[in-house]
A and B are shown apart, each in its own frame.
Chain A
């Protein structure tokens, strides 16, 4: 039975994290850094990639130690593992990319209590193989990066009028609504983005359901037609038998 279960391929895992279970827009997890650091595309990408790195390491490590850890104390152990990895990232960024370290500020150590990390550890890595867990980490991390950069791109483009990445100006808009870069703008942009994505998704589901209903209707109609045809045939048979009987009687 076990080998009959469909294997989850790495591609499935990554696509799941990017679109179907996107942590920002679908699961709505890890909102603090999502709102806090997305004032510019650079910070959003930096935060997303840091979380990606942490997720790969923690998912891998937790899948590795999952059989040794007694289930009663697993959450404290997971938190310590996550805190260790986050401290590592803090030192690395502080040493090699000090600008990003300053820009992310308090949200960098707060990756420890980001619900995505502990959520994936508890929901996925604690009962899957190391390889699957690592790919789940890659998928979720990329999904988070995608969510953050979409939000950051929108806010920076509409809020400051241009989007910059590593010193290059990528896009320029003619409007600049400065409030989008301020805290209220973060709530507004995220609310609108999630709302629009939800609306599109519900629309799609409705359309899929309509198509499905149509198919069911057609199938039912076919079935009914078949049944009617069959009945007619039987009627004919009965008629034939009847006539036969009549003939033999005569």
Chain B
């Protein structure tokens, strides 16, 4: 239990996926200029990463590696191709399911779902689960808290950017450059969480 808590804290704050691992920067800079957009993207990423983490873990250990379902060959070298296909299919299915069962949620997240296939955070977390040799429980905790860290950071950052829009910033630094500098200060603050564990 203690270990799982440590893992949760580490993945949520200390090794934050955006500010420490540099995954999902494109969407971090792209949709963080509006609060509502940032929250929608964050929630969509949370759903997709958690489910994709579990599915890819199962695919890797039961289909790609030699197991009771696959007693012929070791296919683990194909993981990049298989994972991206699984994620693309899953995003598509998730989009259809949300559209069918919860139209309100779909109207909030619908626009962001197709973009997520090419969000490197999703494939990144799926690969990190395998690289770190996590068990299934650890995979769930790691995926969920990593994606929560993403949501938290992108939502907080959208407040900062909205405030920064009103500031008198030199023309050349407007938009992405000043955003990156603000992200740098945020990354410094998150470095301080290292004392927590």
Contacts of A191 in B (CB 8 A): 173, 176-181, 183-184
Q: Which candidate, B64-72, B117-125, B140-148, is the interface stretch facing chain A? A: B117-125
Is A187 in contact with B171, judged by CB distance below 8 angstroms?
no
* A-B contacts at CB below 8 angstroms, number: 129
- Identify whether the interface residues of A are mostly helix, strand, loop, or mixed: helix
CB–CB A90/B80 < 8 A: yes
Q: Is A228 an interface residue (CB 8 A)?
A: no
Known: A31-B29, A87-B80. A106 touches B184 (CB 8 A): no
Chain A 122-155 per-residue mask, 1 if CB under 8 angstroms from chain B, else 0 = 0000000000000000000000000000000000
Q: Is A99 part of the binding interface, using a Cβ–Cβ cutoff of 8 Å?
A: no
11 example contacts (A-B, Cβ-Cβ < 8 A) are as follows A83-B84, A84-B81, A106-B131, A109-B79, A112-B84, A182-B191, A188-B184, A194-B177, A195-B173, A195-B181, A198-B177
- A243 interface contact, C-beta 8 A: no
In the complex the two chains form, is A28's CB within 8 Å of B176's CB?
yes
Identify which of B26, B78, B181, B191 contacts A192 (C-beta below 8 A).
Answer: B181
Interface residues of B in 25-72 (CB under 8 A from A): 25-26, 29
Interface of B is mostly: helix
**B84 pairs with A183, CB closer than 8 A:** no
A35 to B176: give the CA distance in the assembly, Å: 14
Q: Is B21 engaged at the interface, CB distance under 8 Å to the other chain? A: yes
Q: Is B170 an interface residue (CB 8 A)?
A: yes
Bound-state Cα–Cα, A176 to B38, Å: 37
B-facing residues in A160-204 (Cβ within 8 Å):
182-188, 190-192, 194-202
Asked if B22 is at the interface of the complex by the 8 Å CB criterion, the answer is yes
The answer to whether the Cβ of A29 comes within 8 Å of any Cβ in the partner chain is: yes
Residues of A close to B119: CB separation below 8 A: 113
- On whether the beta carbons of B187 and A115 are closer than 8 Å, the reply is no
